[in-house]
């Protein structure tokens, strides 16, 4: 299906609005980094703006709206950054989930223990060679960040990482996903943000026939979630400032536009 850029195109918004109003309930899923918060030099610097927080809180208070936040960060971290009570949260690319009086984690995270220990050992010499790169151990997954290294060194850095990973990958079942200046390593099992989404939808007891599902995300790992949303007849929105192939049906070019879109959604259902 053709991608539609929403920015400034009211016709695309009219279609979205019609879809939202055609259902009794709305389940809005949002990624965090690059979607609710701009991408920053170090993940610890990312914040949810007060304005966005208030907007999300307002949406959560509406009886017809459910909210879900899906991130590659640790579950407790993403919960702390967003702090919307009563919402569903998925951390670690969907390997850890929680919602009102519910918590779940994928059993595959246990198999990552040995892999992460070995990876840290073999990757550290490369990391120390490239200032600005660092490893983030999230127990179920491992992230190799390189946003801050000098631009002309990124290709070489990625090549070295890839070569080193090859040696460990022969011993462990690992899935490697390249995101925005980050390489994500996760267990090679049939699990991803899309599966997490399905589990949350099931857990929420929302009825697909009566619910409009929306997913807004910006990176490679969100593609699995876009596919699930498309299958459910929902609205998949990709936040990206450049043309990139995506499974999402709609695209917003700038992260700052997310706020405007949430505003429009709020107004439409109020
Ligand atoms: Mg993101």
Return the pLDDT at 269: 93
Are residues 147 and 15 part of one domain? no
Give distance in angstroms: CA of 176 to centre of ligand 1: 16
Ligand 1 centroid to residue 71 C-alpha, Å: 7
CA of 31 to the centre of ligand 1 (A): 5
Quick one: average pLDDT of 154-166?
93
pLDDT of residue 5: 62
Eight-class DSSP state of 140:
S
Q: How far is the CA of 152 from the centre of ligand 1 (A)?
A: 24
In the prediction, which pLDDT does 13 show? 85
Same domain for 66 and 40: yes
Q: Are residues 12 and 102 in the same domain?
A: yes
Instruction: State whether 84 and 21 are in the same domain.
Output: yes
* Per-residue confidence (pLDDT) for residue 3, from 0 to 100: 54
CATH code assigned at 223: 3.40.50.1000
Mean pLDDT for the stretch of residues 234-250: 87
Residues 32 and 151 in one domain: no
Distance 168 CA to ligand 1 centre (A): 27
The residue-averaged pLDDT of 224-231 equals 96
> Ligand 1 center to residue 66 CA distance, Å?
20
- pLDDT by residue (tens digit) across 72-113? 999 999 999 999 999 999 999 999 999 999 999 999 877 788
My answer on whether 172 and 238 are in the same domain is no
Residues 11 and 102 grouped into a single domain = yes
Going from the Cα of 232 to the center of ligand 1, the distance in angstroms, rounded, reads: 22
Specify whether 202 is located in the same domain as 102: yes
The predicted-structure confidence for 4-63, as pLDDT tens digits, reads as follows: 666 656 778 888 999 999 999 999 999 999 999 998 888 889 999 999 999 999 999 999
Same domain, 222 and 249: yes
44 C-alpha to ligand 1 centroid (Å): 14
Are 137 and 211 part of one and the same domain? no
Residue 2 reports pLDDT greater than 50: no
Span from the CA of 120 to the centroid of ligand 1 (angstroms): 24
Going by DSSP bridges, is the β-strand pair 182-187/211-217 parallel, antiparallel, or unpaired?
Answer: unpaired
Nearest 5°: phi and psi at 143? -110, 135
155 against 13, higher pLDDT = 155
Q: How far is the CA of 208 from the centre of ligand 1 (A)?
A: 25
Q: Which one of 187, 205, 238 terminates a domain? A: 187
Same-domain pairing of 97 and 12: yes
Q: What percent of the chain has pLDDT over 70?
A: 96
Q: In angstroms, what is the span from residue 62 Cα to ligand 1's centroid?
A: 26
Q: Residue 1: is its pLDDT beyond 80?
A: no
In sequence order, what E strands does the chain have? 4-5, 25-30, 65-70, 88-91, 96-99, 102-105, 134-137, 142-145, 174-178, 182-187, 211-217, 235-239, 250-252
User: Is 123:133 a contact under the CB 8 Å cutoff?
Assistant: no
| Mean pLDDT for all residues in the chain | 91
Mean local confidence (pLDDT), 182-192: 91
Residue 50: which domain range? 4-106+191-269
Q: How many separate domains does the chain show?
A: 2
Indicate whether 169 and 61 sit together in one domain: no
Stretch 164-185: mean pLDDT = 87
């Amino acid at each position: 299906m053709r991608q539609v850029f929403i920015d400034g195109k009211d016709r695309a918004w009219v279609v979205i609005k019609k879809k939202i109003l055609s259902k009794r309930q709305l389940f809005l899923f949002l990624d965090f980094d690059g979607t609710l918060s701009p991408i920053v030099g170090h993940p610890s610097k990312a914040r949810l703006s007060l304005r966005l927080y208030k907007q999300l809180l307002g949406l959560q208070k509406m009886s017809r709206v459910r909210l879900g936040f899906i991130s590659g960060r640790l579950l407790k971290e993403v919960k702390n950054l967003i702090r919307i009570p009563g919402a569903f949260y998925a951390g670690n690319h969907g390997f850890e989930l929680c919602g009102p009086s519910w918590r779940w984690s994928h059993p595959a995270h246990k198999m990552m223990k040995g892999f992460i220990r070995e990876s840290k050992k073999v990757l550290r010499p490369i990391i120390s060679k490239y200032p600005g790169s660092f490893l983030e151990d999230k127990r179920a997954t491992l992230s190799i960040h390189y946003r801050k290294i000098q631009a002309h060194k990124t290709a070489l850095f990625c090549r070295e990482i890839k070569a080193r990973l090859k040696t460990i990958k022969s011993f462990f079942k690992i899935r490697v996903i390249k995101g925005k200046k980050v390489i994500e390593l996760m267990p090679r099992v049939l699990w991803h943000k899309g599966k997490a989404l399905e589990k949350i939808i099931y857990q929420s007891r929302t009825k697909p026939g009566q619910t409009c599902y929306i997913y807004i995300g910006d990176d490679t790992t969100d593609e699995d979630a876009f596919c699930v949303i498309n299958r459910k007849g929902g609205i998949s929105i990709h936040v990206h400032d450049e043309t990139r192939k995506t499974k999402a049906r709609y695209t917003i070019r700038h992260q700052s536009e997310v706020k405007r879109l949430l505003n429009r959604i709020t107004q439409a259902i109020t």
